[in-house]
Amino acid sequence: MHPTTVADYQALVAHSQETHVLASAAATLAWDQETGMPKGGGDLRSRQLEALAAMVHQRSTDPRIGEWLQACESDRNLQQESDAAANVRGFRRDYDRATKLPNTLVAELARLESQAQQVWAEARAASDYARFLPSMERMVFLQQQKADCLRGSRSRWDALADLCEPGMNAASLSQLFAPLRERLVALRGQLDARGKRPDDRFSRVPFEESAQESACRAALQAIGFDFDRGRLDRSAHPFCTGSFGDVRLTTRYSKDNVLDALGSAMHEGGHGLYEQGLCAEHMGTPLGEAASLGIHESQSRLWENHVGRSRAFWQWSQPMLRSKLGLEVDGYSADDLWRASNRVEPSLIRVEADELTYDLHVMVRFELEQALLDGSLAAKDLPAAWNAGYRQALGIEVPDDRRGCLQDVHWSCGLFGYFPTYTLGNLYAAQFASAVRRDIPDLDDQHARGDFAPLLAWLRDKVHRHGRRFDPAELCRRATGAALSADPFVAYLEQKLHAVYA
């Protein structure tokens, strides 16, 4: 870098780091809203989050950023492979995006997201979509406006999806999803034809919630989650927020579903390991941020499914569960737990879905979201369209909105174009896992004795430490030697589920 540009670059970094401080304060407040805030705090919290979002947005659109960027970009001495160049590319993408959105829209969205999330939680508990409808209508309207600010010649959905996953668009997703859907449905048919499902009695054995929590903590500790730099709490909808030295996970407990609590903890733990594995020296800059939501989800799904639903994992965790949950576990072998955790059954709730039907849930939402944004589906008609989608994709009837279109928090907090990153996450996870198995042939033996460090080291090296240095497609090619494909995912499911059902 030319000496005169160094000052511009340093100004960019310092400005971004200060903005990160404000944004991370908002994230902690949002975490508190879901875990500890009393109901009466809702109004003030919405205004706090609105104020912080406005400050963050104002800082992110500061015209000086444009000047600093221009100086850096016109510096011919800037090495394209350098950290600085990678950060400049990230800053440019963020700045161009932010400056397309008016401050008033950003502030109103932040307030509505906080309010609507609270209304959604009540409406879901009461299974009352009518209560949520005014918030949903306003949300769709504002998201359409946001998309129109960003989209240029793209569709609204593509404009919002690109915020979640750089480069993602509906056309390429449809190409990926259509054959995937066929192969999943075919595999489901083969399993159904066996006429017998794995015994899942274990998932209904009642265990004290405190015992479940200590089992979740033990699993998280084993896979390498650092509790000196993170927490585990409970919330209605499990999530992970924060990064570096303060990563907050939540799971949920119901007395008779320890597999759900454990699976959610492993899932959010995978997100948390990614955040703890980002390079601390780059905190507050693009190199210190996750590559994309799809890559983020690959980390959660890898730990939840490729590890947490593997035979080897249950060989290690059966005795662990015995010590945390008590004698009841004695009646179940590691293989019993493995089979119970891999039972395939079309169900109503996405977050509880098995690995085979999970992506069918995502595909339903993918279609509905596009229709909501392009205006061909009105918010008031969402429940009927949702129920029709489930009938067609999963062959099940949705009995009420609580288990239908009110089940997910996403739309209430303004996340549109997000759901397909879950399926991309599954595909990336399978491709990473198959590359890991090439590099570490005795992975299962390691996991069976509770040694997850080599896997974590591989992920740190190939994924975590790079931050946003590469776009998701490039990161995948570098880590696995190939472009993203659905083949490793389908091959993995076929191999595992045929074994589980044998």
Q: Which residue numbers are catalytic?
A: 268
Closer of 213 and 297 to Zn ion (Cβ): 297
Compute the least distance from the CB of residue 269 to Zn ion, in Å. Answer: 10
Can you tell me the distance from the alpha carbon of 226 to that of 278, in angstroms, rounded to the nearest whole number?
A: 13
**For residues 140 and 266, which CB has a smaller minimum distance to Zn ion in the complex?**
266
Tell the smallest beta-carbon distance from residue 422 to Zn ion (Å).
7
Task: Name the DSSP class of 437.
Answer: H
Alpha-carbon distance of 468 to 271, in angstroms, equals 15
Give least dist CB 186 to Zn ion, A. 27
Helix axes 156-164, 170-193, angle to 10 degrees: 80
Find the shortest distance in angstroms from Cβ 275 to Zn ion.
Answer: 12
> CB-wise, 398 or 409, nearer to Zn ion?
409
Question: Tokens 């709490």 map to which residue?
Answer: 233
Please tell me whether residue 33 binds Zn ion under the rule CB under 5 A. no
Residue 436 corresponds to which tokens in the numbers above? Answer: 């890991």
| 260 vs 297, beta carbon nearer Zn ion | 297
Angle, CA 353 vertex, CA 411 and CA 174 arms, to 5°: 60
Nearer to Zn ion, 304 or 336 (CB): 304
Q: Name which of 300 and 431 has its Cβ closer to Zn ion.
A: 300
> Given the complex with Zn ion, which of 89 and 271 has the nearer CB atom?
271
Shortest distance (Å) from residue 430 CB to Zn ion: 15
Nearest-CB residue to Zn ion?
A: 300
Nearest approach in angstroms of CB 232 to Zn ion is 15
Query: Following DSSP, what letter does each residue of 157-202 receive, concatenated?
Result: HHHHHHHHSTT--HHHHHHHHHHHHHHHHHHHHHHHHT--PPP-GG
Strand partners, 233: 250
Beta strands in 208-325 (DSSP E): 230-234, 240-243, 246-251
Tell me which DSSP letter residue 407 carries: S
Q: How far is the CB of 378 from Zn ion (least distance, A)?
A: 29
| Chain residues 370-429 in contact with Zn ion, contact rule CB under 5 A | none
Nearest to 157 by CA among 369, 383, 403: 369
- Footprint on residues 280-309 left by Zn ion (CB under 5 A): 297, 300
What whole-number distance in Å separates Cα of residue 488 and Cα of residue 356? Answer: 14
Count of residues binding Zn ion (CB under 5 A)? 2
Identify which of 481, 483, 456 has the alpha carbon closest to the alpha carbon of residue 472: 483
**Cβ distance to Zn ion smaller for residue 300 or 342:** 300
Q: Kindly state the smallest distance separating residue 240's Cβ from Zn ion, in Å.
A: 7
Instruction: At 439, list the tokens.
Output: 């590099």
Q: Give the integer Cα–Cα distance in Å for 450 and 317.
A: 8
CA distances from 339 to 336, 422, 445 (A): 5, 24, 19
Length of the chain counted residue by residue: 502
Secondary structure (3-state) at 17: helix
Q: How far apart are CA 492 and CA 221, in angstroms?
A: 26
Largest CA distance in the chain: 72
Footprint on this chain of Zn ion (rule: CB under 5 A):
297, 300
